[in-house]
Amino acid sequence: MQTTRSVDDTGVTYERHGDGRPLILLHGGMAPPAYWNPVVPHFEEYAAVVPQRPGFGTCLDDPAGTSADEVLERETEYVRTLVDAVDGDPILLGHSYGALTAIEAATEADVGAILAYEPAVLPDEFRREADLADRMEALVEEDEPGEAVKRYVEQVLHPDGIDDLDAWLAEWPVWPDCVELAEEVVRMNRAVERYRLPDRLDVDAPVLVLTGTDGPAFLRESARRVHEALPQSRLVEFDGVGHGGPGEAPELISAEVDAFLRGCR
């Protein structure tokens, strides 16, 4: 585990695996850094840099004091800190909220490329009706953090439903950690609900936008809109893959990423 410090003296902690060009892996909504464990072996020619997101275990002295308005700014700043800390122009690979963070960070950071799996962006017509943060916050205030996180799982991770959600969660290794992070997930979702995709994203680096047919329809639509807002972008949709794409199908995802990066050289 290596640590660097940002300009405001906030610690940024990360693991580095292997040698080569840095590939910074940015996990999403409730996934811990271990989410990338199945992915890292598929990128042996890169130095995989796996950070701990602020508010998700380290980095902030008082993550609970961070408002929804500050969440995205806070996270883009920590990504820029990482970009400055590693050698050369790194590649950013982000999943969900990590993908949004990667794109926003790249508007002011020099990176070689961005790989964004289903960025956490809501289409305007969906965003106007979005109330997940409110529903989760109400449950947290009722001292039901587990029920709050279940609402996230039902709407984002498994929109088609699960026959026995409680049994599935009991087998999910990260479930206890996710419950502990309920308040942070509420703030993150509120930040997503308030984020408005600009007509044009000021990103100079080439971007590969990825999505899957088995995830939420609104995220597939958002992936297309993010692609259209980028000056240098390619969009790829995977048949039969859900929102957890990199973790679900690491070999399939990594092959597409490798082909894209080779074409950028």
Using the predicted structure, report yes or no on whether residue 35 has a pLDDT greater than 70: yes
What SS3 string covers 137-189?
HHHHHCCCHHHHHHHHHHHHHCCCCCCCHHHHHHCCCCHHHHHHCHHHHHHHH
Using the predicted structure, report yes or no on whether residue 142 has a pLDDT greater than 80: yes
Average pLDDT estimate for 151-176: 83
Per-residue confidence (pLDDT) for residue 47, from 0 to 100 = 93
Cβ(92)–Cβ(79) under 8 Å?
yes
Phi and psi, residue 116, nearest 5°: -120, 110
Average pLDDT estimate for 224-251: 94
Tokens of 58: 């380290």
Query: Which of 57-61, 182-186, 189-193, 246-250 has the weakest average pLDDT?
Result: 57-61
Using the predicted structure, report yes or no on whether residue 3 has a pLDDT greater than 90: no
Provide the pLDDT confidence category of residue 1 given band limits of 50, 70 and 90. low
- Give the whole-number percent of the chain exceeding pLDDT 70: 88
The residues, ordered by sequence, that sit 6+ positions from 261 with a Cβ below 8 Å of its Cβ are 91, 113
- CATH no. of 2-122+197-264: 3.40.50.1820
pLDDT digits (tens, 9 = 90+) for 180-215: 888 888 888 888 998 999 999 999 999 999 999 998
Q: What is the mean pLDDT of the chain?
A: 86
Per-residue confidence (pLDDT) for residue 58, from 0 to 100 = 37
Per-residue confidence (pLDDT) for residue 210, from 0 to 100 = 98
Separation between Cα atoms, residue 38 and residue 253, nearest integer Å:
11
Per-residue confidence (pLDDT) for residue 62, from 0 to 100 = 41
Separation between Cα atoms, residue 101 and residue 12, nearest integer Å:
15
The pTM (predicted TM-score) of the whole model is: 0.87
Using the predicted structure, report yes or no on whether residue 72 has a pLDDT greater than 80: yes
Domain ranges of the chain: 2-122+197-264
